[in-house]
Amino acid sequence: MELNQQAEKFYQAWGSLGSNWGINKTMAQIHALLLISENALSTEDIMEKLKISRGNTNMNLRALMDWGLIQKEHITGERREYFMAEKDIWKVSRLIARERRKRELEPALRLLEEIRAVKDTDASTKKFKKQIEEVYKFTAMVDSILEKFIKSNNSWMMKIFSYIAK
């Protein structure tokens, strides 16, 4: 089997998997393509390999830059912009964790804080309040762990992972 075939299989499949992850197909495909590409690619290169429109390519490149997963690279003598992905998978995982924390966890935490802040002495709400408090405490804990994880480096992560695995 050729490299191209295997590579194509990888980024095509990674795209469909992305959907399960709540990341859109094109975004996941472009990321996969750049992750295994040795050199930086231009918008044109990406459009051609993935057979997608310019607008779609541009939108998703921008999203990937927002996530910090790819960067622009200016090649001297070339006017066109090239893009390359962060290749260290540990670092990639921290960038993804950061973004998902922001999108998935922080808004939930804000809602829970708002609800628990309401003073209420009515006996009938006791159990409700208690359950909200449990959910809040758990969410806050996960949030603080994610924060620590995001700010850490590869060796801290490895240390933690081997502690958990033992």
Partner DNA sequence: TGAAACTTTCAAATATTTCTGAAACTTTAT
Partner DNA sequence: ATAAAGTTTCAGAAATATTTGAAAGTTTCA
The binding site for a second copy (CB under 8 A) comprises: 1, 3, 6-7, 9-10, 13-14, 17, 20-22, 35-36, 38, 87, 89-90, 93, 103-104, 107-108, 111, 115, 118, 120, 122, 124-125, 127-128, 131-132, 134-135, 138, 141-142, 144-145, 148-149, 160-161, 163-165
The token pair at 51 is 């057979």
Measured in degrees and rounded to the nearest 5, phi and psi for residue 161 equal -65, -35
Q: Should residue 52 be labelled a site residue for DNA when binding is judged by CB under 7 A? A: yes
What is the rounded distance in angstroms from the CA atom of residue 91 to the CA atom of residue 81?
24
Measured in degrees and rounded to the nearest 5, phi and psi for residue 73 equal -135, 125
Residues 9-48 within binding reach of DNA (CB under 7 A): 19, 24-27, 42-44
Q: Which option in DNA, a second copy, none does residue 148 bind, with CB closer than 5 to 8 A by kind? A: a second copy
Per-residue x/- mask for DNA, residues 57 to 86, rule CB under 7 A? Answer: -xxxxx----------------xxx-----
C-alpha closest to that of 93 among 158, 12, 150: 150
- Cα dist from 117 to 76, 110, 124, 138, whole Å: 56, 11, 17, 16
Site residues (vs DNA, CB under 7 A) = 19, 24-27, 42-44, 51-56, 58-62, 79-81
